[in-house]
Amino acid sequence: MMRRMSHDPRAAAIRALIRDVPDFPKPGILFKDITPLLADPQAFAMILDSFTEQYVGRHLDAIVGIESRGFIFGGALAARLNCSFVPVRKPGKLPYHVDRVKYALEYGEGTLEMHKDSIAEGANVLVVDDLLATGGTASGAAELVRGQGGHVVAFAFVIELSFLGGRERLLPTPVSSLVSY
């Protein structure tokens, strides 16, 4: 299930609401801003409908949402699919005992945390975020899931920057994206 939604008419509507912000957060970066998508209830529903269609009927125990925009889509999707929602956060944001993983970024290293009791042994998990770039953050989240005995069945992203090769880093686990650049 390695799917890009580019032929779906919803993809064009979603793409039209993604705002490009040059030189954010630093010079030379073209940031893909999803806040116009969130401001449009129909567009937000289209995103959730697309993800729901892909994963309804599959046995999912948990949705893992990556801080912070993954929380928005992941939490809503977990409610639609009747499964738990698990936040993966930056260090120091979770109040209980955590598992921690360091992961490679394009220019440096990052750290993610997840509560130690978040994923049951053998649980089927979907990892959700707004954007797939190099795949480092999603790979780190998957490592946390696997460290607790869970099985990452797929990754789902609203936007994929395919020129950065993140999809290849996540294979052979299925990866879906709604809009690809």
Catalytic residues: 69, 106
Q: In whole angstroms, what is the distance from residue 76 CA to residue 49 CA?
A: 11
As a whole number of angstroms, the distance between CA 135 and CA 13 comes to 25
Nearest Cα to 51, choosing from 101, 126, 125?
A: 126
Contacts 24+ apart (CB under 8 A), 57-62: 58/124, 58/153, 59/124, 60/124, 60/125, 60/126, 60/153, 61/119, 61/120, 61/123, 61/124, 61/125, 61/150, 62/86, 62/118, 62/119, 62/123, 62/124, 62/125, 62/126, 62/150
Contact 129, 166 (CB under 8 A): no
